[in-house]
Amino acid sequence: MSLRSALQVDLKTLRSRKLRPVTVAVVDSGVDATHRELAGRVIRAVRVESAGKGIRIFRPRVPQNADVYGHGTAVASIITQIAPNARIVDVRVLDANNVCTGETMIAGFQHAIESGARIINMSLATSAKFAGPLHELCQTAYRQNQIVVASRRNVPLTDDGFPAEIATCIGVDIGRFPSPFQLLFAEDHVIEFVAHGDQVVVAATGGGKTTVTGTSFATPAVAGLCALLVGAYPDLRPFDVKSLLRAFSSNCPK
């Protein structure tokens, strides 16, 4: 496989090819693995919780509804809608209020890396306070040929959110496009890609569907595209995937 041959494909038509399974870790609020859209797609799950000054990790059975808020189920369903070859590793770090500490997020991210997932979806962000350990973990993932896709904050503060600002990640902002297979490359911005995340129809925890908007839901669109590319071209490295996404984005409307 060459990068040149991958450049000749159309992202949407990749779905009709015979693709290798690709594991995608969803670090989020949990995933409803009993939902009809996600049946058989969640291969394992963990729950990461703060415990005093430490962290506890639980391994619930699969399948079950492990989503305590609805965010993670939506994210996972976007990935699987785009990439039929995606297999989900559910890493729950968010609580029933859809929040977690920076330490819990880092522990969940580390577990996702250690799980061996080829792609890690981080539809959540923390402050620059935790940039140091996140940089180190992103470097570890990069060296292990793992692709980290992370969301920009919906409301930027003093920063755009970590790990999305880290160069070894694929940072994603929200846009509105006719198709989730379209995206833009943001010239001269630390958050390099803009993907469809406005009024997206997704699986709802407990069954049925709902409509969501936010950077959290643009991010799994890119993770799904990455899963398609890696499923078709398993030898791609993280820098190859980022280069391909930029090349494909050049044809999108500005």
For position 36, which CATH number holds?
Answer: 3.40.50.200
Residue pair 97/125 in contact (Cβ under 8 Å)? The answer is no
Confirm whether 17 is domain-assigned. no
Confirm whether 9 is domain-assigned. no
Confirm whether 40 is domain-assigned. yes
Query: Is the pLDDT assigned to residue 254 strictly greater than 80?
Result: no
DSSP 55-123: EEEE---SSSB--SSSHHHHHHHHHHHH-TTEEEEEEE---TTS---HHHHHHHHHHHHHTT-SEEEE-
* Partners of residue 150 on adjacent β-strands: 122, 171
Q: Which residue has the tokens 């990790």?
A: 57
Confirm whether 93 is domain-assigned. yes
Confirm whether 207 is domain-assigned. yes
Confirm whether 200 is domain-assigned. yes
Entry pTM: 0.94
The domain in which residue 169 lies consists of: 22-249
In the prediction, which pLDDT does 5 show? 65
Q: Given pLDDT bands bounded at 50, 70 and 90, which one contains residue 250?
A: low
Q: Given pLDDT bands bounded at 50, 70 and 90, which one contains residue 251?
A: very low
In the prediction, which pLDDT does 253 show? 44
pLDDT in tens, 140-149: 999 999 999 9
Residue 71 phi, psi dihedral angles, 5° rounding: -70, -50
* Partners of residue 185 on adjacent β-strands: 193
Q: Looking at residues 164-183, what average pLDDT do you find?
A: 96
Query: Is the pLDDT assigned to residue 44 strictly greater than 80?
Result: yes
Q: How many CB atoms lie within 10 A of CB 185?
A: 17
Confirm whether 16 is domain-assigned. no
Query: Is the pLDDT assigned to residue 37 strictly greater than 80?
Result: yes
Q: Which residue has the tokens 């369903």?
A: 77
Q: What is the mean pLDDT of the chain?
A: 93
Confirm whether 227 is domain-assigned. yes
Q: Looking at residues 159-185, what average pLDDT do you find?
A: 96
Structure token digits, residue 2:
């060459």
Number of domains present in the structure of the chain: 1
